[in-house]
């Protein structure tokens, strides 16, 4: 009867094949991360200051670690097959609650409801990942022992988040309580990412390089989508008649976001995918950890940062009655330019780790962005947004012209790879029609 229980009726868990791609349920699961990124941006935009940005960074780091653990599990077991989706829906619900409570994670130290929901939701998410991974390694004593090496991180991080939720309510001084809560969250982040570095390849496997790279590329597109949403929210065109400055600012936002998409997905992303395919064993795991699990985080943080700056500028530009010559207010320009700087810096580190190269056009762009911040701060918001768009589009134009040969070579390799893959697929599927390979 054991095999005819609920797991037996739903079907067994299915391992990940070497050439596996991302399945539809994984994309469905990622919709909750879309909401999480949106909540982080909205909560930060409501009251932008240094401490609020620190809280956003801490929440994003913990959320990203959940994502990393999730992708590690997904390298071993198909998330959308057998009984696994049932558990993952529970995980989605916990992640959704986690995102809903994020704006209250650092609220009044006498109110523990929000922090407790964050901590408990996190515990549920991590518990589901642990259950699935234990199921994967249940018949391998060596892998079970390796999994135990991660137990201190899991136990301590969940305990620290629970303490961060409950302890500040017992501290009379609000300032001290806030410092204690911040320190506990910082400890969680250091513990998680430090464990990832110390653990190195313990228990890791990247069976399908295609699945791993595709999953991370999709989540980066989701984050870029958040910047588009922020520009749209900032324009406020749904609540008022459109203005030419507002429409122009929105167009600038789309142009520079598209340029940042191009920066990664035109050359660097596809070349890195091939590099991960070409590596094996321990070298593949270390590249997957360093380049994707770690270096995607500053890129996503940069996207959220420049989305906040773009939203503030577009909102001011689109406001009826505000002169178009009005300079941008507050930290909008530094966040806009600084976010793009962080995104490009993370992408350059990603390029260096995967391809062992650096591109001088990108180094020059980082210098230009730093110089442009003090220049853009007294400028009208629309002009500052236009300047950033010109810098980003200029980088794309320069690389299209100067790296034409490399682009054509890469595309030829990718085309050859895809042709060979599709030929093999067609040959395999020909048996379904009773045809020998190569016939029509």
Give the pair of three-digit tokens for residue 338: 């600084």
DSSP 238-258: TSS---HHHHHHHHHHHHHHH
End-to-end CA distance of the chain: 47
At residue 149 the predicted structure's pLDDT band, cuts being 50, 70 and 90, is: confident
Question: Quick one: average pLDDT of 48-56?
Answer: 86
- Mean predicted lDDT score pLDDT of the chain: 85
Question: Quick one: average pLDDT of 171-190?
Answer: 89
Give the span between the Cα atoms of 195 and 213, in whole angstroms: 22
pLDDT tens across 3-22, in order? Answer: 445 555 666 777 777 777 88
Among 24-28, 52-56, 112-116, 394-398, the minimum mean pLDDT is found in 112-116
Question: Quick one: average pLDDT of 171-184?
Answer: 87
**Are the C-beta atoms of residues 232 and 197 closer than 8 Å to each other?**
no
pLDDT tens across 238-291, in order? Answer: 566 677 887 888 888 889 999 999 999 999 999 999 999 999 888 999 999 999
Of 136, 91, 98, nearest to 117 by C-alpha is: 98
Give the span between the Cα atoms of 153 and 340, in whole angstroms: 32
Task: Give me the residue spans of the domains in the chain.
Answer: 1-205, 209-402, 404-433
Q: In this predicted structure, what is the pLDDT of residue 213?
A: 93
Q: In this predicted structure, what is the pLDDT of residue 200?
A: 65
pLDDT tens across 304-341, in order? Answer: 999 888 888 887 877 776 777 777 777 889 999 999 99
Residue 223 pLDDT > 60 = yes
Question: Quick one: average pLDDT of 97-113?
Answer: 76
For residues 261-296, b (16+ Cβ closer than 10 Å) or e, as one string? bbbbebbbbbbbbbbbbebeeeebbbbbbbbbbbbb
CA dist list (Å): 399 to 165, 320, 360: 48, 39, 10
More confident residue, 1 or 9: 9
Q: In this predicted structure, what is the pLDDT of residue 191?
A: 92
At residue 1 the predicted structure's pLDDT band, cuts being 50, 70 and 90, is: very low
The pLDDT > 70 percentage for the chain reads: 91
Q: In this predicted structure, what is the pLDDT of residue 302?
A: 94
At residue 2 the predicted structure's pLDDT band, cuts being 50, 70 and 90, is: very low
Would you call 148 exposed, middle or buried from its count of C-beta atoms within 10 A (0-12, 13-18, 19+)? exposed
Q: In this predicted structure, what is the pLDDT of residue 325?
A: 75
Compute, in degrees rounded to 10, the torsion defined by CA atoms 9, 10, 12, 13. Answer: -160
Q: In this predicted structure, what is the pLDDT of residue 239?
A: 61
Give the span between the Cα atoms of 440 and 435, in whole angstroms: 8
């Amino acid at each position: 009867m054991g095999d005819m229980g609920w797991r037996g009726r739903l079907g067994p868990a299915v391992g990940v094949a070497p050439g596996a791609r991302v399945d539809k349920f994984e994309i469905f699961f990622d919709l909750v991360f879309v909401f999480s990124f949106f909540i982080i941006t909205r909560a930060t935009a409501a009251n932008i200051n240094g401490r609020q940005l620190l809280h956003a960074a801490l929440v994003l780091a913990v959320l990203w670690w959940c994502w990393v653990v999730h992708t590690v599990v997904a390298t071993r077991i198909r998330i959308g097959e057998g009984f696994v989706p049932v558990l993952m829906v529970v995980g989605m619900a916990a992640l959704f609650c986690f995102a809903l409570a994020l704006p209250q994670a650092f609220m009044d130290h006498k109110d523990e409801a929000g922090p407790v929901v964050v901590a408990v939701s996190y515990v549920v998410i991590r518990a589901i990942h642990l259950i699935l991974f234990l199921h994967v390694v249940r018949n391998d004593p060596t892998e079970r022992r390796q999994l135990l090496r991660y137990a201190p991180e899991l136990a301590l991080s969940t305990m620290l988040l629970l303490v961060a939720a409950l302890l500040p309510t017992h501290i009379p001084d609000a300032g001290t309580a806030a410092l204690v809560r911040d320190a506990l969250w910082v400890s969680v982040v250091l513990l998680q990412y430090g464990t990832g570095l110390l653990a190195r390849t313990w228990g890791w496997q990247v069976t399908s390089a295609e699945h791993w790279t595709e999953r991370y590329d999709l989540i980066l597109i989701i984050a870029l989508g958040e910047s588009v949403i922020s520009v749209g929210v900032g324009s406020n065109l749904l609540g008022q008649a459109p203005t030419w400055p507002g429409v122009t600012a929105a167009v600038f936002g789309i142009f520079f976001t598209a340029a940042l998409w191009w920066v990664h997905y035109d050359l660097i992303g596809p070349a890195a995918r091939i590099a991960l395919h070409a590596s094996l064993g321990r070298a593949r795991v270390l590249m997957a950890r360093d380049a994707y699990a770690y270096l995607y985080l500053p890129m996503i943080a940069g996207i959220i940062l420049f989305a906040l700056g773009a939203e503030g500028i577009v909102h001011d530009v689109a406001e009826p009655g505000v002169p178009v010559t009005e300079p941008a207010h507050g930290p909008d320009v530094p966040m806009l330019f600084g976010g793009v700087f962080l995104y490009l810096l993370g992408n350059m580190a990603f390029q260096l780790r995967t391809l062992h190269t650096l591109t001088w056009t990108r180094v020059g762009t980082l210098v230009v962005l730093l110089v442009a911040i003090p220049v853009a701060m007294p400028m009208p918001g629309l002009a500052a947004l236009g300047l950033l768009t010109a810098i980003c589009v200029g980088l794309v134009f320069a690389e299209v012209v100067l790296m034409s040969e490399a682009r054509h070579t890469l595309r030829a390799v990718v085309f050859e790879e895809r042709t060979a893959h599709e030929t093999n697929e067609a040959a395999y599927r020909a048996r379904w029609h009773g045809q020998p390979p190569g016939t029509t």
